[in-house]
Amino acid sequence: MTSSMESASDQAQDQDARREAPDPLRWWSLLAVSLATFMTYLDLNIINVAIPTIQRSLHLSEAGLEWIVSSYLLTLAGLLLAGGRLADAYGRRRLYMIGLIIFTLSSLSAGLAGNGGMLISSRAVQGIGAALLTPATLAIITNTFTDVKERTSAIGLWTVSAAFGLALGPVTGGLITENIRWGWIFLINVPVGVVTLALSVRTVRESRSAAAGHVLDVGGLVTSAVALFAVTYALIEGNDAGWGAPEIVAAFVVAGIFAVAFFVFETRSVAPMVNLRLFRIRQFTGGITTQMIWAFGALAIYFFTSMYLQDVLGFSPLKSGLLFVPMAFALAAFAGFSTLMEGWIGGHRTVSLGMVMMTVGLIMLNMHDEHSTFASLLPCLIVLGGGMGIMNVPMTNAVMQNTPEAQAGVASALLNDAREVAGLLGITIIGAVLRSQQTAKLHSGANPSQAFLHGYHAGLWVATALVVIGIVFTYTTLRPNKETSGLKDPVPAQQLT
């Protein structure tokens, strides 16, 4: 008996030692998941500048054209949370690889599409692939990098890859559309996906939640997916259909009913999809909310600034996209620097400083009019990009370092879903402010450019006010607990049981 107990103890110690020993391929693993992240983020907006060309090529209606963009967002946002939970239960590497294969093959299908139906369905499948692999990437990083400093640097590099994907999308789309067939905006994913898959096979290690086993909260999976599908559909279609349209009202009602059902399932399930006790952790809830504040303002401003550049200043799609490239480089540079700042002044101060920079950038942007130039706008976007870079890494760390390993995939999914839904909400609300002010200005006799500019400035002030509120909020909620400061795993799973 004693011998067997000693043997079991030795095995447990050996397992702990293996878990603590750094993975020699961990940086190659980071490269693999960062390439996958870059590819999915690039796909979020590479299509925007190609829309007119696609419409002419496939003879699409306005509704069909909108669904080329919307189908991807709908499946991505609707299934992210389910993807994170499946990754925790069945293996992060497994779900990541499945998602990567689905995304690569559907990109091939989209690039070869000869009609609107095939392109829309391929884009929807792309969203499914992204929903499976995206939450797994951050969970893989959290599990692979056991050293807190290395993990912080790894998350910083992962953030940079996502930022470059977002920023290079319009430029890449413009270059391809103007010089090659539009289908290559999707086909470029195929070689990148194949290389990423080959690299991942050799370097990415499997991990899963031992506590969850293979028990799935089916009720939580279904109700969360339906609620997210419904609210995403309503936010995407509301502006065109009208917020009082029966289908939009019905979508919001369905979202509300299934959201309530989700919380009921989670409180009663023995193995909940999302452990609601996570939200008792101040830093976790603060990080998720900060992500929503950032996405609400930043993604909406990105969207409407692109319209301002083309509709008011007359920039070409390619020139507009090029203006966002320095913003991406600023984001990357400041993201790298933020890992040092977090160690010097703390994550909560670093995030707040980033939001201060974003506030300054938004105010600078609001000072521009219809006579602005590429050169005059450049400093505004660089300051904005720097602020985003400073805040995103410590914000992500605040969530992931205060999440038990067993819930890493779900936490990553919550971060990503918070960004997608809040971004759509920001485009909806700031867009409503913009359009109401634009309409009022048109009625007073202003020309269309002046009217749009007036509404655009009003929308910028809404985003600025929200970011200002976020400065105080993040400073308060992301402060580390004194009793957990400096600990490697500040939130053990036992605290959530």
pLDDT digits (tens, 9 = 90+) for 379-398: 999 999 999 889 988 998 88
More confident residue, 66 or 242: 242
- pLDDT value of position 482: 67
pLDDT mean over 416-427: 85
**Helix (H), strand (E) at residue 118:** helix 116-144
Give the residue-averaged pLDDT of 3-14: 42
d(C-alpha 415, C-alpha 81), whole Å: 9
> How far apart, in whole angstroms, are the C-alpha atoms of residue 163 and residue 251?
32
Pick from 162, 150, 138: nearest CA to 35: 162
Predicted confidence band at 366 (pLDDT cuts at 50, 70, 90)?
very high
Q: Which of 420, 409, 393 is nearest to 136 (CA)?
A: 409
Residue 486 confidence (pLDDT) above 70? no
Which residue from 50, 72, 52 is spatially nearest to 176, judged by alpha carbons?
50
Which residue type sits at 394?
Answer: P
| Comparison of pLDDT for 171 and 458, the residue scoring more | 458
Q: Got the DSSP string for 353-396? A: HHHHHHHHHHHHHHT--TT--HHHHHHHHHHHHHHHHHHHHHHH
Token reading at 11: 């095995």
Average pLDDT of the residues in 25-37: 94
- Residue 45 sits at φ, ψ, to 5 deg, of -135, 10
Q: Report the percent of the chain where pLDDT is more than 70.
A: 91
> What is the maximum span of the chain, computed from C-alpha positions, in angstroms?
91
- Confidence at residue 5, expressed as pLDDT on a 0 to 100 scale: 41
> Which residue, among 245, 207, 283, 217, has the nearest Cα to 26 in the 3D structure?
207
Q: What is the pLDDT of residue 26?
A: 92
pLDDT at 196 over 60: yes
pLDDT of residue 63: 66
Dihedrals phi, psi of 170, to nearest 5 degrees:
-60, -40
Confidence bin at 53 (pLDDT 50/70/90): confident
Alpha-carbon distance of 98 to 353, in angstroms, equals 39
| Statement: the pTM of the whole predicted model exceeds 0.85 | no
Nearest CA among 394, 402, 392, 393 for reference residue 488: 402
Specify the pLDDT at position 20: 60
Region 473-484 average pLDDT: 81
Are 365 and 311 within 8 A, CB to CB?
Answer: no
In angstroms, the CA 370 to CA 153 distance is 41
Residues 6+ apart with CB under 8 A from 19: 146
Quick one: pLDDT at residue 417?
87
What is the structure's pLDDT at 10?
Answer: 42
Contact 473, 289 (CB under 8 A): yes
Range in 62-66, 227-231, 245-249 the model is least confident about: 62-66
Question: Among all chains, which residue has been given the structure tokens 């969203």?
Answer: 127
The count of other CB atoms within 10 Å of the CB of residue 148 is 16
Q: Which amino acid is at 7?
A: S
Query: In the structure, what pLDDT confidence band is assigned to residue 214 with cuts at 50, 70 and 90?
Result: low
Mean pLDDT of the chain: 85
Helix (H, G, I), strand (E, B) or coil at 445: coil
Return the pLDDT at 34.
Answer: 95
* Predicted confidence (pLDDT) per residue in 109-140, tens digit: 999 998 889 999 999 999 999 999 999 999 99
Angle between helices 282-307 and 408-443 (to 10 degrees): 40
Residue in 193, 234, 212, 216 with CA at minimum distance from that of residue 78: 234
User: pLDDT tens digit string along 243-291?
Assistant: 889 999 999 999 999 999 999 988 888 778 888 888 999 999 999 999 9
Q: How far apart are CA 133 and CA 140, in angstroms?
A: 10
Q: pLDDT band for position 7 (50/70/90)?
A: very low
Average pLDDT on 51-61 reads: 81
Helix, strand or coil, per DSSP, at residue 181:
coil
424 burial (CB, 10 Å; 0-12 / 13-18 / 19+) is: buried
Q: Angle at Cα 82 formed by Cα 81 and Cα 84, nearest 5°? A: 65
Residue 158, C-beta contacts closer than 8 angstroms, at least 6 positions apart? 30, 33, 34, 37, 137, 138, 141
Number of H helices, E strands in the chain: 18, 0
Query: For residue range 427-452, what is the model confidence (pLDDT) as tens digits?
Result: 888 888 888 899 899 998 888 889 99
DSSP assignment of 391-416: HHHHHHHHHHTTS-GGGHHHHHHHHH
Determine the 3-state secondary structure of 188 from DSSP: coil
